[in-house]
Structure 1
Amino acid sequence: MNVHELNYAIWAIARELVHHHRYSLMDNDEGMLTLKRRDGIRVTYLYLMPLVYGQSAEQQEAEIREQFAHSMDWMKMVGFRRPALVHRMVHLYIRTDAGYQMSGEQIASLHLSSLTESHRIEAGLIDLVDNRAVLPQIVIPGAEFIQQFAARSEPVPYDETRLYEVIDVWHGEMLRAHQERVEPFEEAGRKRGAPLTFAFVAINVVVWLLMTYYGGSTNTATLIQFGAKYAPLIDEGEYWRLVTPMFLHIGGLHLWFNTVSLLSLGGRIERVLGSGTFFLLYMTAGIVGNLSSYWFSPSISAGASGAIFGLMGALLYLTVKEPDTWGEMMGFSIYSGLVMNVILGFVVPGIDNYAHFGGLVGGYLFMAARALLTKKEAAAS
Structure 2
Amino acid sequence: MNVHELNYAIWTIARELVHHHRYSLMDNDEGMLTLKRRDGIRVTYLYLMPLIYGSSPANQEEIIREQLEHSMDWMKMVGLRRPAVIHRMIHLYIRTDAGKQMTGEQLKSLQLATLTDRHRVEAGLIDLIEHEVTVPKVLIPGLEAIEQFTAKNEPVPYDEHRLYDVINQWHHEMLHVQHDRVKDFEEAGRKRGAPLTIAFTVINVIVWLLMTYYGGSTSTRTLIDFGAKYGPLINEGQYWRLITPIFLHIGGLHLWFNTVALLSLGGRIERVIGPVTFLFLYLFSGFTGNVASYLFSPSISAGASGAIFGLMGALLYLSMKEPDTWGETMGFSIYSGLLMNVILGFVVPGIDNYAHFGGLAGGFLFAYLFALLTNGRTKSSAS
TM-score range, shorter chain: over 0.9
**Residues 96-175 of structure 1: pairs in structure 2 closer than 5 A:** 96-175=96-175
User: Which whole-Å deviations, capped at 9, do the CAs of 1:233-268 have from their partners, x for residues lacking one?
Assistant: 111111000000000000011011100100000000
Question: Hey, what's the Cα distance between the residues in 2 that align with 1:265 and 1:362?
Answer: 16
Partner residue in 1 for 2:380: none
Partner residue in 2 for 1:74: 74
Contact 1:88–1:138 (8 Å) recurs in 2? no
Structure 2 gap ranges (5+): 378-383
TM-score (structure 1 length as normaliser): 0.98
Partner residue in 2 for 1:276: 276
Partner residue in 1 for 2:186: 186
**Residues 339-378 of structure 1: pairs in structure 2 closer than 5 A:** 339-375=339-375
Question: Hey, what's the Cα distance between the residues in 1 that align with 2:80 and 2:252?
Answer: 36
Pairing 1:225–2:197 present: no
Partner residue in 1 for 2:287: 287
Contact 2:48–2:91 (8 Å) recurs in 1? yes
User: Which whole-Å deviations, capped at 9, do the CAs of 1:311-358 have from their partners, x for residues lacking one?
Assistant: 000000111111111111111111111111111101111000000001
Question: Hey, what's the Cα distance between the residues in 2 that align with 1:246 and 1:113?
Answer: 46
Question: Hey, what's the Cα distance between the residues in 1 that align with 2:152 and 2:3?
Answer: 18
Q: Amino acid of the residue matched to residue 160 of structure 1? A: E
Compute the displacement of 1:116 (Å): 1.1
Contact 2:321–2:376 (8 Å) recurs in 1? no
User: Which whole-Å deviations, capped at 9, do the CAs of 1:141-179 have from their partners, x for residues lacking one?
Assistant: 100011111101110111111001000000011111111
Compute the displacement of 1:82 (Å): 0.9
Contact 1:90–1:138 (8 Å) recurs in 2? no
SS in 1 for 2:375: helix
Question: Hey, what's the Cα distance between the residues in 2 that align with 1:352 and 1:345?
Answer: 7
Q: Amino acid of the residue matched to residue 268 of structure 1? A: R
Contact 2:345–2:351 (8 Å) recurs in 1? yes
Question: Hey, what's the Cα distance between the residues in 1 that align with 2:100 and 2:87?
Answer: 30
Question: Hey, what's the Cα distance between the residues in 1 that align with 2:367 and 2:64?
Answer: 44
**Residues 206-285 of structure 1: pairs in structure 2 closer than 5 A:** 206-285=206-285
Partner residue in 2 for 1:299: 299
TM-score (structure 2 length as normaliser): 0.97
Question: Hey, what's the Cα distance between the residues in 1 that align with 2:110 and 2:262?
Answer: 47
Pairing 1:8–2:4 present: no
Compute the displacement of 1:137 (Å): 2.1
Question: Hey, what's the Cα distance between the residues in 2 that align with 1:225 and 1:181?
Answer: 49
Q: Amino acid of the residue matched to residue 370 of structure 1? A: F
Question: Hey, what's the Cα distance between the residues in 2 that align with 1:332 and 1:286?
Answer: 24
* Root-mean-square deviation (Å): 1.1
Q: Amino acid of the residue matched to residue 209 of structure 2? A: L
Compute the displacement of 1:376 (Å): 9.2
User: Which whole-Å deviations, capped at 9, do the CAs of 1:65-117 have from their partners, x for residues lacking one?
Assistant: 01001111111111111111100000001000111321111111211111111
Partner residue in 2 for 1:198: 198
Compute the displacement of 1:35 (Å): 0.4
Contact 2:229–2:242 (8 Å) recurs in 1? yes
Contact 1:122–1:138 (8 Å) recurs in 2? no
Q: Amino acid of the residue matched to residue 206 of structure 2? A: V
User: Which whole-Å deviations, capped at 9, do the CAs of 1:261-306 have from their partners, x for residues lacking one?
Assistant: 0000000000000001101100110000000000110000000000
SS in 1 for 2:93: strand
Distance 1:376 1:268, change over 3 A: closer
Aligned length: 377
Compute the displacement of 1:375 (Å): 2.6
Distance 1:100 1:278, change over 3 A: farther
Partner residue in 2 for 1:40: 40
Q: Amino acid of the residue matched to residue 84 of structure 2? A: A
Contact 2:90–2:121 (8 Å) recurs in 1? yes
Contact 2:217–2:223 (8 Å) recurs in 1? yes
SS in 2 for 1:28: strand
Question: Hey, what's the Cα distance between the residues in 2 that align with 1:260 and 1:375?
Answer: 32
Question: Hey, what's the Cα distance between the residues in 1 that align with 2:106 and 2:100?
Answer: 12
Compute the displacement of 1:138 (Å): 2.9
Contact 2:292–2:355 (8 Å) recurs in 1? yes
Compute the displacement of 1:215 (Å): 0.7
Deviation beyond 6 Å, 4+ runs, structure 1: none
Contact 2:270–2:278 (8 Å) recurs in 1? yes
Contact 1:6–1:50 (8 Å) recurs in 2? yes
**Residues 302-317 of structure 1: pairs in structure 2 closer than 5 A:** 302-317=302-317
Question: Hey, what's the Cα distance between the residues in 1 that align with 2:373 and 2:133?
Answer: 40
Contact 1:227–1:241 (8 Å) recurs in 2? yes
Contact 1:194–1:270 (8 Å) recurs in 2? yes
User: Which whole-Å deviations, capped at 9, do the CAs of 1:186-227 have from their partners, x for residues lacking one?
Assistant: 112211000000110111111111111111100001100110
Question: Hey, what's the Cα distance between the residues in 2 that align with 1:216 and 1:368?
Answer: 39
